Amino acid sequence: MTDSEAIARKYGKVIAPMTRTGWAFWATAIPLAAIFLWSVFAFGWQYRFGLGETGMGHPVSWALYLVNFVFFIGISHAGALVSAVLRITHAGWGTPFGRAAEAVTVFALAAGPTNILFDLGRSSRFYWVALHAQFKSPLLWDFTCIMTYFTVSVIFLYVLMVPDIGLLRDRFPGRRWLYRPLSLGWTGTEKQWSALGKAIGFLCIAVIPIAVSVHTVVSWVFGLQTQPMWFSTIFAPYFVVGAIYSGIAAIILVTIALRKVYHLEDYLKPYHYNNMGLLLLVFTLLWAYFTFAEYLTVGYAGGEAEHAVLWSKLTGKYALLFWIMVALCFVIPFPILVFRRTLPGLLIASICIIIGMWIERYTIIIPSFIEPRLPYVRGDYMPSWVEWSMTFGLAAGFTLAFVLFSKLFPVISIWETEKDEKEKESKGD
Amino acid sequence: MYRWGMVIDLDRCTGCQACVVACRQENNVPFAGEQEAVLGRGKFWMNFISEVKGSYPDVKMRFFPIPCMQCDHPPCTKVCPVEATYKNPEGIVAQVYPRCIGVRMCISNCPYTVRYFNWHAPAWPDDYKRGRNPDVYKRRKGITEKCNFCIQRIRTAKWKAKKENRRIHDGEVIPACAETCPSGAISFGDLNDSKSRVSRLSKSRRAFRLLEDLGTKPKVYYLKEGEWHDG
């Protein structure tokens, strides 16, 4: 007991958000909840009157929901993947990001596939995908991989929290109803530690191929279709890279916000962000490389249908969006990440990248629909209020989930920080 | 086994669009209304495209009636996660309306863009409603629908032929578009029967199919303009 008290005192700042709830919390949570509830109403409206309440039509039969789907699934890659890779490689600087990253994964994975539910003509029959599974459909692969990833990342987040929940159980008698069952009787015995170590080792290895598979099959929802500029062999790695790219940006954004709001400057140091910034830089370059390779190939050797889409992006109807994307995903973040990996620099870069990657998904999906292969069906697309409501509702729900999470669980892994510190000390001796 | 196919002679097509109307009537294709049509939500199981080339006085107009191509290798069926669409044994790409959950991946993977979605609950003008065809399955909002070569007519013809213990004669069953075409531009029949009109026409020098390079192997053939002799 004294041990837990000493640790709780030492990590007072990490635990503080769970003990105090001020006006700032309500001022954040209530508007977020209101936006979220509004989107529930919007969904009800769409459910009642049909998908015609969106801006979709013929030939743009998939639109904003699919953009959000790919975007959120992309964000989810941050988490589990990055924290698992950093753990396996024993990169100690990843420790303070771990918990936030894993939580981002879980919440983004809850938000992403929800879009498919919105997108269905008969949302109440979504489970038919499992019931009447048709194995040749990339959507079924999606369903399988995403469900697996979701399950594994929930377990991943949870298992890594067990020792901390054990601590919370002892510290918060009032919330015992929650922490006691979740702590699984954790007392920190030798046997429990060794079981935990094994479980984490296994999960770290398991989560990497699963995460890669998820965005691979998400890319195949497009890449295996006949639409011009979708049908591309590099779509799978391109999407995976883009996903990790936006995911890292999301981790940086989330942790900077947490650091500021909960005063975690002692744990999240500029040194950590410098390293994270370097990782982000690698993915900036990878993304730019893939984008260049993809567009050059289409421009140089593509057919008539592909060129129609390509030019609509480069100089046509989607030129503005396309070049904004290039600016936000590369031109702005690249010099920042090379020269200024400071906190404000990283904040600007991450916000740019997150918005830029959303636009990237938009410019991948919509223009191909506008210019289908046969040059007679032409249409336009403008999202309706229902689609915008759902987009902002999901973003609000995602943020709200994170805010609530930070009120119930420590956003920085206490036991891992402690362990790292002990390891450092023993090395120093 | 039958293998239904269609041949559309573009030289005979006058652009009257009777096929579009007849199809709508036969298959209870709902009215989208002007507002919805602007958003591209008009449903045309038999679509009709016209193209104007050149300027006065040297103007040329071309017409293209576009039904579902009923591909032998349909890209739409394999992507459906619930198997709501499939190629039936007679080669028709059919849509199972009660099974469809409205994913719309079939729509986006159809290179001919001839699949249509019920964005709203289907609607008709009041005085039109009484004239709806009772032989056609009712569709609801949120599902995909498409041309199926008037499968209800084929079914009836098959029952009749079975009762009389024979095969369906060439020309005995034709879809509404072919039946109504005043210039006889649309032929329909069994491609497996080498003596049928469609199988003869489909081997014509004038015959071509849309986007053949995709390997979808459509069963709707077009006969190109400019040469008047048959076959």
Amino acid at A251: I
Give contacts of A372 with chain B, Cβ < 8 Å.
Answer: 111, 113
Nearest-Cα residue of chain B relative to residue A135 = B81
pLDDT of res. A1: 42
Distance (Å, whole) CA B218 – CA B4: 11
Are the C-beta atoms of B5 and B194 separated by less than 8 Å? no
Identify the CA nearest to B120 among candidates B198, B54, B31, B48.
B31
Q: What is the pLDDT of residues B13-51, one digit of tens each?
A: 999 999 999 999 999 999 888 888 888 888 999 999 888
Q: Which residues of chain A have pLDDT under 50?
A: 1
| Best to test chain A binding among B49, B71, B97, B119 (most A CBs inside 10 Å) | B119
% of chain B surpassing 70 pLDDT: 98
Q: How far is B17 from chain A (nearest CA, A)?
A: 17
Q: Crossing angle for the helix pair A270-301 and A343-370, nearest 10 degrees?
A: 20
| 3-state secondary structure (DSSP) of residue A84 | helix
Q: What is the pLDDT of residues B138-182, one digit of tens each?
A: 899 999 999 999 999 999 999 999 999 999 999 899 999 999 999
State whether A379 and B142 contact (CB < 8 Å): no
State whether B82 and A132 contact (CB < 8 Å): yes
Token code pair at residue A424: 């450092």
Rounded to the nearest 5 degrees, what angle is found at the Cα of B147, between the Cα atoms of B142 and B150? 120
> Which residues does A142 contact at the CB level (< 8 Å), separation at least 6?
A214, A217, A218, A221
**Residue A117 sits at the chain B interface (C-beta within 8 Å):** no
DSSP A261-329: HHT-TTTS-HHHHHHHHHHHHHHHHHHHHHHHHHHHHHHHH--HHHHHHHHHHHTSTTHHHHHHHHIII
Compute the CA torsion angle B24, B25, B28, B32 (nearest 10 deg): 50
Q: What is the pLDDT of residues B185-196, one digit of tens each?
A: 999 999 999 999
Distances (CA, A) of A258 to A5, A48, A104, A279: 24, 39, 13, 20
Nearest-Cα residue of chain B relative to residue A60 = B108
| Beta-carbon pairs below 8 A across chains A and B | 130
Are the C-beta atoms of B14 and B183 separated by less than 8 Å? yes
| Best to test chain B binding among A61, A67, A124, A147 (most B CBs inside 10 Å) | A61
**Residue B15 sits at the chain A interface (C-beta within 8 Å):** no
State whether B141 and A225 contact (CB < 8 Å): no
- Beta-strand ranges (E) seen in chain B are 4-9, 47-53, 60-66, 85-87, 93-95, 115-117, 144-146, 186-190, 207-208, 220-223
Nearest CB to A126: which of B40, B101, B141? Answer: B101
Give contacts of B141 with chain A, Cβ < 8 Å.
Answer: 50-52, 121
Nearest CB to B101: which of A122, A140, A369? Answer: A122
Give contacts of B64 with chain A, Cβ < 8 Å.
Answer: 376
Token code pair at residue B89: 């044994």
Q: How far is B170 from chain A (nearest CA, A)?
A: 32
Backbone φ and ψ for B64, nearest 5 degrees, come out as -135, 100
pLDDT of res. B52: 87
Nearest-Cα residue of chain A relative to residue B143 = A121
Give the pTM: 0.93
Give contacts of A120 with chain B, Cβ < 8 Å.
Answer: 101-103, 142
> Which residues does A136 contact at the CB level (< 8 Å), separation at least 6?
B78, B79
Give contacts of A43 with chain B, Cβ < 8 Å.
Answer: none
Backbone φ and ψ for A22, nearest 5 degrees, come out as -100, -170
Residue A31, preceding peptide bond in cis (omega within 30° of 0): no
Q: What is the pLDDT of residues B197-211, one digit of tens each?
A: 999 999 998 999 999
Task: Tell me: pLDDT of B110 over 90.
Answer: yes
Distance (Å, whole) CA B24 – CA B116: 13
